[in-house]
Amino acid sequence: GGVAEAKTLEDVLKEKGVITEADYKEVTKSKPIYYKPGKGFTFTAPDEKFQLSLGGRLQVRYTFTDLDNNGTTGDSSKWEVRRMKMWLNGYAYSKDLTYLLQVDFVNGSSSKLLEHAYLNYRLLDEVQLLAGQTKIPFGRQWLNSSGAQQFVDRSTASDAFRPGYDAGVKLHGDIARGFATYEFGLYGGAGQSVVRTSNDNAIAARVTVNPFGKMAYSEGDLDRSAKPKLSVGANYFRDTLKATYTPATSSTALETNNLTFAGSSGWLGKGLSTFTASEKIDVNTFGLDAAIKWLGASAQAEYLVGQADGQDSNATLRAHGFYAQAGYCLIPGTVEVALRYSYVDPNRDKSNDLQSDTQGALSWYINKHNLKLQGDVTNSHKQNGTKTSTDDMIYRLQAQVTF
């Protein structure tokens, strides 16, 4: 039940014939302030050369983890503000020069506070140049906002292989009105808010083909597409990272762990003991992905491969993983069920180190992804080397509001 919108002064003056229909159009062309769900409040300068949107997104989450084998850790019951983002974005000096500043205040004590900080110049829709920090274009699910997921959060496969944020420059564009898109970027290569100290940099490239027209990354077919939508993507990321091996503790550390795949839950982070020399490691990752939506049903899958080669030791670490998920809106645009299977093999040359997650989700989209409640249940099957494998159960409930 919505509140009837009050008449504006312009409405009243038009009705009374004080101003003409043409006057009305002229004076209401520029709205100094308006609100669009998901974007926040938007302010526009009278000359329409400047625009600023200010908004935020909150995720409150409860997680209960029921461990199969309660060793030293034990079950956990967590309440957390999972994400508390704030953004300022818009255009400045020209509608073709856009900017985005986004922080996540949950990361107050770390270099991960700042997420996006870039400017983008659109020469044509087909030729755009972005400079600054933003998501490295690798991985469909990673590129889809954490706020537009079908589950409470991304899959473990996406988490294990994605690079994360980095600063650099990206050439990108939409070809033939979104029939295809391309992104080619050059990055520092040390990850989010970390500045490189060597002359090794990273490159990333991604293309998508969308035979039925442009398709947003947002998961779930909340708009109940009358015609099918399909997107197929492929991406590549290459970087070189310095590793330092400490013989005394037989441990290897990377120059940075702010690239997600190099962190504690990433394939490279987990497999670092492969490298028993202080050396530079060449990292190559590939990915293929596809998504489809039709009549309230949606499906998405991604296959990801990573390989790391020590320049001195000649040691090689090879990893791969994938996920596939599907959802269906039981009540169009409002209630959706979804299933997902995610698989990660962080070291293909090591046995009994797989992790596979089977997940079911139920989502209540009160205002699409802008205001929603989501719950999911995960059976997380982990192989533990020579020990018995475990099946942990994870129960999550999350509320999200975009304001």
Q: What is the Cα 129 distance to its own chain's centre?
A: 20
- Binders of its own copies among residues 165 to 184 (CB under 8 A) are 166-169
- Binders of its own copies among residues 338 to 367 (CB under 8 A) are 366-367
DSSP three-state, residue 260? helix
Q: Which CB atom, from 239 or from 302, has the smaller least distance to its own copies? A: 239
Cα angle value 17/23/24 (rounded, 5°): 80
Q: Which amino acid is at 58?
A: L
Read out DSSP for 133-181? EEE-S--HHHHS-TTS-SSSS--HHHHHH---EEEEEEEEEEETTTTEE
Q: Which CB atom, from 79 or from 314, has the smaller least distance to its own copies? A: 79
Pick the stretch among 25-33, 259-267, 339-347, 374-382 that binds its own copies (CB under 8 A). 25-33
Q: Does 371 bind its own copies (CB under 8 A)?
A: yes
* Residue for token pair 């009374």: 16
- Binders of its own copies among residues 100 to 129 (CB under 8 A) are 101, 103, 105-114, 117-119
Residue 193 beta carbon to its own copies: minimum distance, rounded to whole angstroms: 7
C-alpha distances in angstroms, 81 versus 86, 165, 375, 399? 14, 21, 15, 10
Pick the stretch among 147-155, 204-212, 232-240, 395-403 that binds its own copies (CB under 8 A). 395-403
- Binders of its own copies among residues 282 to 301 (CB under 8 A) are none
Residue 289 beta carbon to its own copies: minimum distance, rounded to whole angstroms: 26
Residue 93 beta carbon to its own copies: minimum distance, rounded to whole angstroms: 5
Q: For 114-134, what is the HEC assignment?
A: EEEEEEEEEEECCEEEEEEEE
Q: Which CB atom, from 112 or from 270, has the smaller least distance to its own copies? A: 112
- Cβ contact 347:373 at 8 Å: no
Residue 134 beta carbon to its own copies: minimum distance, rounded to whole angstroms: 10
Q: Which CB atom, from 113 or from 362, has the smaller least distance to its own copies? A: 113
* Residue for token pair 């990272």: 241
Supply the DSSP symbol for 10: H
Mark residues 66-105: x for contact with its own copies by CB under 8 A, - for none.
-------xxxxxxxxx--x-x-x-x-xx---x-x-x-x-x
Q: Which CB atom, from 46 or from 247, has the smaller least distance to its own copies? A: 46
* Residue for token pair 């699910």: 141
Q: Which CB atom, from 166 or from 376, has the smaller least distance to its own copies? A: 166
Closest CA to 8 of 34, 42, 39, 44: 34
Residue 11 beta carbon to its own copies: minimum distance, rounded to whole angstroms: 8
Q: Which CB atom, from 187 or from 343, has the smaller least distance to its own copies? A: 187
Closest CA to 304 of 256, 353, 234: 234
